Amino acid sequence: MNQTEKTAIVLRYANYGERDRMLTLFSPTRGLIEAAAHGCRRPKSRLLSASELFALGDFELFEKGGRYTVTGFTLIENFYPLRDDWDRLNAGTYLLNLCESAVQPGENAQELFMLLLHTLSRLAFSDQPWRPLLTGFLAHFANTEGFRPRLRHCVVCGDRVEDSAKAWFDLREGGLCCTRHRQEGMPAILPEERAFLHHALETGSSSWTEGAARLAPLSLMEKYVEAHLEKPLRVKAPT
């Protein structure tokens, strides 16, 4: 039996009993943690704010026999403005689900944790369009999880693909295919879309213009990332 405190964010909850919730937490140092929040659905529960999606804070956890119970909570941020915009809420929920699919219990995942908080902050508190934010997240997610896409060279022959040349994207191999090595059914990727991804990965910038919003290859990156996840997603990607 022991008591610990962990900074974490709520990725998911499931109601059980009359007033309880099981929370799926993401801690940067301990990965996924399942923790019971007893009585959190009572109107005056002090765990009320701990048991909502996007709740980021310091969780006091009591551990016994490998099971965790939340005994206290200090809220840091709940990204409240996400609730005011359906698309941004949907995008945020999708990010939570992606992290749940990628992170293991006990895993140190600080880079992904920081990427998540950074993107949620921009979704909630900036007026930047959500499509390029989400696309940029997916590119960085692929990088963090070890399958950064190759955006300059053909994954088959290794030849440099000129910036202005036509190219296709191999979802399985994770990168460009030149005209000679493209296969039936491969999605095309426009020069502007490659430039967007390259810029996102190289500079880490999220200062998008309205024009950039149209160049973000969102559905391509969704397909790419989802093809590399071990667990299927519960939340459908925004379109």
| Residue 35 near Zn ion by CB under 5 A | no
DSSP of 194-237, one letter per residue?
Answer: HHHHHHHHHH------HHHHHH--HHHHHHHHHHT-SS--SSPP
Q: How far is the CB of 222 from Zn ion (least distance, A)?
A: 25
| Residue 82 near Zn ion by CB under 5 A | no
Answer positive or negative: Cα dihedral of 47, 51, 55, 61.
positive
Q: Pick between residue 20 and residue 170 the one whose CB is nearest to Zn ion.
A: 170
Selected binder of Zn ion within 157, 165, 188, 190 (CB under 5 A)? 157
| Residue 167 near Zn ion by CB under 5 A | no
Closest CA to 202 of 135, 114, 143, 131: 143
Stretch in the footprint of Zn ion (CB under 5 A) among 65-73, 128-136, 154-162, 165-173: 154-162
Give the single-character DSSP code of 238.
P
Q: How many separate helices (H) and strands (E) can be counted in the chain?
A: 6, 8
| Residue 165 near Zn ion by CB under 5 A | no
Question: Are 47 and 70 spatial neighbours (Cβ–Cβ below 8 Å)?
Answer: yes
Give Cα 40 to chain centroid, integer Å.
Answer: 26
Question: Are 95 and 116 spatial neighbours (Cβ–Cβ below 8 Å)?
Answer: yes
Selected binder of Zn ion within 116, 154, 167, 220 (CB under 5 A)? 154
| Residue 155 near Zn ion by CB under 5 A | no
Q: How far is the CB of 167 from Zn ion (least distance, A)?
A: 9
| Residue 156 near Zn ion by CB under 5 A | yes
Host H or E run for residue 13: strand 2-16
Q: How far is the CB of 150 from Zn ion (least distance, A)?
A: 11
Host H or E run for residue 9: strand 2-16
Question: Are 46 and 22 spatial neighbours (Cβ–Cβ below 8 Å)?
Answer: no
Q: How far is the CB of 171 from Zn ion (least distance, A)?
A: 16
Selected binder of Zn ion within 150, 153, 181, 198 (CB under 5 A)? 181
Stretch in the footprint of Zn ion (CB under 5 A) among 88-96, 101-109, 150-158, 214-222: 150-158
Q: Pick between residue 15 and residue 179 the one whose CB is nearest to Zn ion.
A: 179
Stretch in the footprint of Zn ion (CB under 5 A) among 50-58, 77-85, 151-159, 191-199: 151-159
Q: Pick between residue 39 and residue 174 the one whose CB is nearest to Zn ion.
A: 174
Q: Which positions lie near Zn ion, rule CB under 5 A?
A: 154, 156-157, 178, 181
